[in-house]
């Protein structure tokens, strides 16, 4: 399939583009590099052994999106592009609603007009919010707790309404749990700008000496060691989940949500220990207050993806830590040199 991947230069997009090539598909990247680097595309091309087609464009530019879809001869779209920082979304809700929702509307308008009816969307486990349970199944009501999460929830609803409005749409909504790790080559990985919000990139930067210590946000949760428990998923497994979803879309009438996670929770301290084993050095940490909006524990029920996508995770926490460390130690400043990021 010829697949338009919006946000394909980003962290999850770049790994998925490579997985698509490996599975015999033809990805085309659309990105405005708002949160990524052309260097990622160059490296994916190098790993793929061929030049990946790249279109530099902003999804907020409706006429440009219309032209790209009109001319692209695409069989399907994987829609990664969007803003994703929870704290920033609370400070700048209009920017988040505009960026995430308006860009999706532009894309869907163009797809509808030019007859592209297959789409896989990057949703998030964050759409479930506080669900009154720790293992999330797809039937739980959506209850996002911050503007970022609500953009994902609203886009899911828009996709459902679109699918209900006319026949012929095949829509997969992928609810990712906590993607971490990097390609085992160490050539592509996660390259957050500024101070990382998420645990694994922060731990990686402590290990490589860019930050002094980790703040563990709370050690008095009702979990086995008192720290927060999440379902970490290796980004290469996640990339495979997109290929599986794309290939299963033909069987979907309308829209369908799938959890992409391992089904297993790991605590903050378990992540720290795994990283210490991988890097062969201690990760200094201090216990800090709980972070606002954090839940004690949640993980996926991945049964539906196993049954319908014939997909499951294959890599464990030690693989995630090893590959994250391999990437971080070979690229201490990600795709840059460390000089372009004043906060780094």
The site for ligand UD1 (CB under 6 A) is made up of 86, 124, 126, 148-149, 178, 197-199, 202, 214-217, 228, 230, 268, 291, 293-294
Chosen from ligand NAD, ligand UD1, none, partner binding at 59 (C-beta under 5 to 8 Å by type): ligand NAD
CB closer to ligand NAD out of 39 and 308: 39
Helices H, strands E: what count in the chain? Answer: 12, 15
Among candidate residues 86, 87, 99, the one with its CA nearest the CA of residue 34:
99
Report the nearest approach of ligand UD1 to the CB of residue 117 (Å): 28
Query: 94 to 153, contacts with ligand NAD by CB under 6 A?
Result: 99, 103, 122, 124
**Position with the least CB separation from ligand UD1:** 228
Q: How far apart are the first and last CA of the chain?
A: 39
**Position with the least CB separation from ligand NAD:** 10
128 catalytic residue (yes or no): no
In the list 4, 12, 21, 305, the residue contacting ligand NAD (rule: CB under 6 A) is 12
DSSP 114: T
Active-site entry in 11, 128, 136, 148: 148
SS3 320: helix
Chosen from ligand UD1, ligand NAD, none, partner binding at 147 (C-beta under 5 to 8 Å by type): none
Contact yes or no for 6/17 (Cβ under 8 A)? no
Helix boundaries (H) for the chain: 11-22, 38-48, 62-72, 86-91, 93-96, 103-113, 147-165, 199-207, 235-248, 268-279, 303-304, 317-330
The residue behind tokens 């979803």 is 245
Report the nearest approach of ligand NAD to the CB of residue 41 (Å): 9
Stretch that binds ligand NAD, among 43-51, 53-61, 220-228, 280-288 (CB under 6 A): 53-61
Q: What is the CA angle 299-9-335, rounded to 5?
A: 95
175: buried, middle or exposed (CB in 10 Å: 19+, 13-18, 0-12)? buried
Chosen from ligand NAD, ligand UD1, none, partner binding at 7 (C-beta under 5 to 8 Å by type): ligand NAD
Residue 31 in contact with ligand NAD, rule: CB under 6 A: yes
Alpha carbons 72 and 63: distance in angstroms, whole number: 14
CB closer to ligand NAD out of 149 and 226: 149
Residue 59 in contact with ligand NAD, rule: CB under 6 A: yes
Residues of this chain that interact with ligand NAD (CB under 6 A) are 6-7, 9-13, 31-36, 58-60, 80-82, 84, 99, 103, 122, 124, 176, 179
What residues are annotated to the active site? 148
């Amino acid at each position: 399939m010829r697949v338009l991947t919006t946000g394909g230069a980003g962290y999850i997009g770049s790994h998925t583009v490579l997985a698509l090539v490996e599975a015999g598909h033809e990805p085309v990247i659309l990105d405005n590099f708002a949160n990524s680097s052309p260097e990622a595309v160059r490296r994916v091309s190098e790993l793929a052994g061929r030049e990946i087609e790249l279109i530099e464009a902003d999804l907020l530019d409706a006429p440009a999106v219309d032209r790209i879809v009109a001319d692209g001869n695409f069989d399907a779209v994987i829609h990664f592009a969007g803003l994703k920082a929870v704290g920033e979304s609370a400070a700048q809700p209009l920017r988040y609603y505009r960026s995430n929702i308006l860009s999706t509307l532009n894309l869907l308008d163009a797809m509808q007009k030019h007859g592209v009816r297959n789409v896989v969307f990057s949703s998030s486990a964050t759409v479930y919010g506080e669900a009154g349970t720790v293992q999330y199944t797809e039937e739980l009501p959506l209850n996002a707790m911050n503007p970022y999460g609500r953009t994902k929830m609203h886009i899911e609803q828009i996709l459902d309404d679109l699918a209900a409005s006319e026949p012929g749409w095949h829509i997969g909504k992928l609810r990712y749990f906590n993607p971490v790790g990097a390609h085992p080559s160490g050539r592509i990985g996660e390259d957050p700008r500024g101070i990382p919000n998420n645990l694994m990139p922060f731990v990686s930067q402590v290990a490589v000496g860019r930050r002094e210590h980790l703040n563990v946000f709370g050690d008095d949760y009702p979990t086995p060691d008192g720290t927060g428990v999440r379902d970490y998923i290796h980004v290469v497994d996640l990339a495979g989940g997109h290929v599986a979803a794309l290939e299963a879309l033909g069987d979907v009438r309308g829209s369908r949500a799938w959890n992409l996670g391992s089904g297993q929770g790991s605590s903050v301290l378990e992540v720290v220990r795994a990283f210490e084993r991988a890097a062969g050095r201690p990760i200094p940490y201090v216990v800090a207050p709980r972070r606002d909006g954090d839940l004690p524990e949640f993980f996926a029920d991945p049964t539906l993806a196993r049954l319908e996508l014939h997909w499951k995770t294959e890599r464990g926490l030690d693989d995630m830590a090893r590959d994250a460390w391999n990437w971080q130690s070979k690229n201490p400043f990600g795709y840059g040199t460390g000089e372009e990021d004043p906060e780094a």
